[in-house]
Structure 1
């Protein structure tokens, strides 16, 4: 299966847009784009009804379209998503941002990546200052959290991850560091005695950390490792701020056959100013840097991280005294049977991947 934007996909999307508004093709390109970006729920349900019929052969009412869509399998979603993107995306690449926006706000209200990201930063900062005691802001750095986007690239639907370079490097280093920690203190999660027991319409989730008696030491190294990652990411942001505005496009591995996953990595705030949502790929390519720069930085930071991990491991094993913690009030985590089944399936899949 591929996620190509074929003529049939375009035709299905056009019919769905006509269901959204019979006047769609009488409008200017700008008006059509605004309609796609700002369509309300009622319009979206009419569009979804047509896409379900045209792409998947599923007949349903407009009222039922949202529920049917929610229950589609991953394979079905990948079949319908290329046409769906053509009914929602903006600009030359039909970019769609997988983020909740305030009512009455669309991606068209933000010209550049910076405009959106900085606006979101200010919103989050208000919450942090209000809710977090003694919070000290580090200031604005781009893409504190990765963003998920969809777009058309080389006439195919692409699932994109939008990263800052600092965040991307730390993400890569984190994976390697976690593996290193597992070598130093092997651990797993084992089922507790109450796992899967019925509880108030759901089932108890009871898994416990098993590190061969070194659970407290493992948790302490994990705590230090987490703080190290936060410090390194902030330091990288500050170092990269003075660098030229560059962007990187890197194909990512996909666990789903036919899916195309791409990482779009922004070096710094300057790069965020240079890339506009409505000309996303073209602007990225103008400032595109060599992926060798990323790999060199990842290798350097990975070496530092492993050295840090080994030092902290030795320090904890030699000097750390586990606190004498009295048992506190136990908290129950109750999950729906379906969610529990999904987690168990994912756990089995992960185990199979490691064999």
Structure 2
């Protein structure tokens, strides 16, 4: 990691060369024109950028077919490429780039603040949900129901960032801790169903069955109640933070050679105060200690833990497993190779992924 950052000049040089390959006039433009080009680059220009970056950064220099892809499998190779690529796509003071799908002819420059982007996404989500489900009930708007993933420079170094709300961060933490607790309350595992791996049009059938030693209906009921609890808690927490003084909480960590940054905002007013083009400096203007977030998580988990114990007790005593709830059966077809990396993981990682996908039983 240290050695790579000492090579920052090499990464920057590769990015400059790539941008020139994308458009020979790039370095003659004004900063505003350059930023617009980076944010709205078409596929042909992106392909030229990628080719130059792979050629300039891989070590040793590409001498064989697919050398670039093999180099990207190395931790430092991927980091160098992503870092240089950010310099060719990012905007603003921090070269921030949002890892989210945008509508055609729309870029991050079309949204001045984080709030503008989040509100637009809220309307899109409601529109799509209403189109797919005639009975859909529109939700009130609260900050960042769904976390965003971004890349940006902090102290001239590439960071992978999560941008989220306080309510979403808390409920995400509750979901993780709750999954562990539910596994302790009703031990369970996943086994392959009779159709798992069977060839289907376009791929293969994903058929993993839940095995809870006869307590499958009770486990399913507990999971369903837990999901409803988390949804309700998110609304309650969002409402409780809505009138607070706008605040941003930031935490930096390092994991597997990658620098990570977490940005947590307490409400919509905090999002309105943060512009994409001055993201980090605007966050610092309303920064508060991250220990406040940890306190909120601890308090919320204390309540959730008590709720789970009570829900578990009630289900074991009063739930009738012979009453089957009507639920739409799902058949999931996966493309060939889609889970190759997943299936190579050890058993604990494999079970953890399944626990968080919701694939309790697919037929």
TM over 0.5: yes
Q: Could you say which residue in structure 1 is the equivalent of 2:282?
A: 283
Preserved contact between residue 191 and residue 207 of structure 1 (Cα < 8 Å): yes
Preserved contact between residue 92 and residue 280 of structure 1 (Cα < 8 Å): yes
Q: CA separation of 1:201/1:347 partners in 2, compared to 1, >3 Å: closer, same or farther?
A: farther
Secondary structure of 1:242's partner? coil
Counterparts of residues 18-167 of structure 1 (less than 5 Å): 18-56=20-58, 57-58=61-62, 72-73=72-73, 75=75, 76-167=77-168
Q: What is the number of residues matched between the two proteins? A: 347
Shift of 1:190: 1.4
Q: Deviations over 1:138-193 (max 9, x none)?
A: 31111110000000012211110110110001111111111111111011111234
Secondary structure of 2:89's partner? coil
Q: Could you say which residue in structure 2 is the equivalent of 1:196?
A: 197
Preserved contact between residue 93 and residue 152 of structure 1 (Cα < 8 Å): yes
Preserved contact between residue 189 and residue 351 of structure 2 (Cα < 8 Å): no
**Counterpart-to-counterpart distance in 1, 2:312 and 2:45:** 57
Q: Could you say which residue in structure 2 is the equivalent of 1:307?
A: 306
Q: Could you say which residue in structure 2 is the equivalent of 1:272?
A: 271
Preserved contact between residue 39 and residue 109 of structure 2 (Cα < 8 Å): yes
5+ residue gaps, structure 2: 353-363
**Counterpart-to-counterpart distance in 1, 2:36 and 2:62:** 28
Which range moves more in the overlay, 133-142 or 20-29?
133-142
Secondary structure of 2:93's partner? coil
Q: Deviations over 1:66-109 (max 9, x none)?
A: xx769953634323100000000000100000111122211111
Structure 1 segments (4+ residues) deviating >6 Å: 68-71, 326-330
**Counterpart-to-counterpart distance in 1, 2:136 and 2:203:** 37
**Counterpart-to-counterpart distance in 2, 1:230 and 1:352:** 24
Q: CA separation of 1:341/1:129 partners in 2, compared to 1, >3 Å: closer, same or farther?
A: closer
Secondary structure of 2:149's partner? strand
Q: CA separation of 1:110/1:49 partners in 2, compared to 1, >3 Å: closer, same or farther?
A: same
Shift of 1:324: 4.7
Preserved contact between residue 53 and residue 59 of structure 1 (Cα < 8 Å): no
Q: Deviations over 1:285-326 (max 9, x none)?
A: 110011121111101000000000000000000000013559
Secondary structure of 2:345's partner? helix
Preserved contact between residue 217 and residue 317 of structure 1 (Cα < 8 Å): yes
Q: CA separation of 1:330/1:111 partners in 2, compared to 1, >3 Å: closer, same or farther?
A: closer
Q: Could you say which residue in structure 1 is the equivalent of 2:355?
A: none
Q: CA separation of 1:276/1:69 partners in 2, compared to 1, >3 Å: closer, same or farther?
A: farther
Q: CA separation of 1:16/1:326 partners in 2, compared to 1, >3 Å: closer, same or farther?
A: closer
Q: CA separation of 1:59/1:82 partners in 2, compared to 1, >3 Å: closer, same or farther?
A: farther
Structure-1-length-normalised TM-score: 0.90
**Counterpart-to-counterpart distance in 2, 1:89 and 1:279:** 12
**Counterpart-to-counterpart distance in 2, 1:327 and 1:30:** 56
5+ residue gaps, structure 1: none
Q: Could you say which residue in structure 2 is the equivalent of 1:343?
A: 342
Shift of 1:202: 3.6
**Counterpart-to-counterpart distance in 1, 2:136 and 2:48:** 45
Secondary structure of 1:275's partner? coil
**Counterpart-to-counterpart distance in 2, 1:350 and 1:153:** 31
Which range moves more in the overlay, 212-221 or 133-142?
133-142
Q: Could you say which residue in structure 2 is the equivalent of 1:172?
A: 173
**Counterpart-to-counterpart distance in 2, 1:160 and 1:221:** 33
**Counterpart-to-counterpart distance in 2, 1:69 and 1:140:** 42
**Counterpart-to-counterpart distance in 1, 2:329 and 2:96:** 46
Preserved contact between residue 143 and residue 165 of structure 2 (Cα < 8 Å): yes
RMSD: 2.8
Q: Could you say which residue in structure 1 is the equivalent of 2:356?
A: none
Q: Could you say which residue in structure 2 is the equivalent of 1:10?
A: 12
Structure-2-length-normalised TM-score: 0.88
Counterparts of residues 198-347 of structure 1 (less than 5 Å): 198-200=199-201, 202-252=203-253, 254=255, 257-325=256-324, 332-346=331-345
